[in-house]
Amino acid sequence: MNLARYSINTQIFTWIIILIALLGGTWGFLSVGRLEDPAFTIKQAVVVTGYPGASAEQVAREVSEPLETAIQQMEELDYLETINTPGQSLINVVTKMNYRGADLDRIWRDLRNRVADAAAHLPDGAQAPFVNDGFGDVFGIYYAVTAPGLSDTELHGL
C-alpha cells in the first residue's frame, strides 16, 4: 500500500501529521533569533591617556610603563601594543581567545580598575586614562553615487 492511499483511508494519521508540522513550524518561528543589528564580540580594548606637552619618550616612561605594568598582571591578557606619540599614550589590549563574550564585562571592569589604580601614580600633567571597549557596536553604511545630468549607465561606468 502506498502512502497516499494510506493517508486517504486513515484520516487521523493525516491530521496528526498536519498538526505536528504546524506546531513544529510555530515553535521554530518563535524560537528563531531576530537581531536586526547583531552584536559582534571583539576582544580588544584601547587605553588612551593624554599628557600634554610631553615628548614621546616622556610619555613612554612616565605614563605608558606604569599602565603597562598594571595591565600585564591580568591573566586574561593575550598581548598588548603601545604607541607613544608626543602628548599621548595609546595602549591596545587584546584578551585571549578562549574567553566568551559573556566574560568580557568582567574582564573590562578588571582592566578599568587596574588602570584607575595605576593612574594614581601618573605625573601631575597627565590626564585621566580612558578605556574604550565599545567596539561591538558595528553599523552598516550605505553610499549612493549621484551626478546631475548622467544616466545610470554612465554612473555605472564611473
Q: Looking at domain 44-132, what is its CATH homologous superfamily?
A: Multidrug efflux transporter AcrB pore domain (3.30.70.1430)
- Predicted confidence (pLDDT) at residue 136 exceeds the cutoff of 70: no
- Please say whether the beta carbons of 86 and 60 come within 8 A: no
State the pLDDT at residue 124: 92
145, 102 Cβ separation under 8 angstroms: no
Q: What is the pLDDT of residues 85-133, one digit of tens each?
A: 999 999 999 999 998 888 889 999 999 999 999 999 999 999 999 999 8
User: 146: pLDDT confidence band, cut at 50, 70 and 90?
Assistant: confident
**Which pLDDT score is estimated for 37?**
63
The domain locations on the chain are: 1-34, 44-132
The answer on pLDDT for 77 being more than 80 is: yes
Which cell numbers in the block locate residue 154? 554612465
75, pLDDT greater than 70? yes
String of b and e for 120-132 (b: at least 16 CB within 10 Å)? eebeeebbebebe
User: What confidence score (pLDDT) does residue 38 get?
Assistant: 64
Tens of pLDDT along 1-12? 688 888 888 888
- pLDDT of residue 56 exceeding 80, the answer is yes
Q: In the prediction, which pLDDT does 147 show? A: 81
Greatest CA separation found in the chain? 91
Q: pLDDT, tens digit, for every residue of 11-55?
A: 888 899 999 999 999 998 888 877 666 667 888 999 999 999 999
For residue 77, give the H/E element and its range: strand 77-85
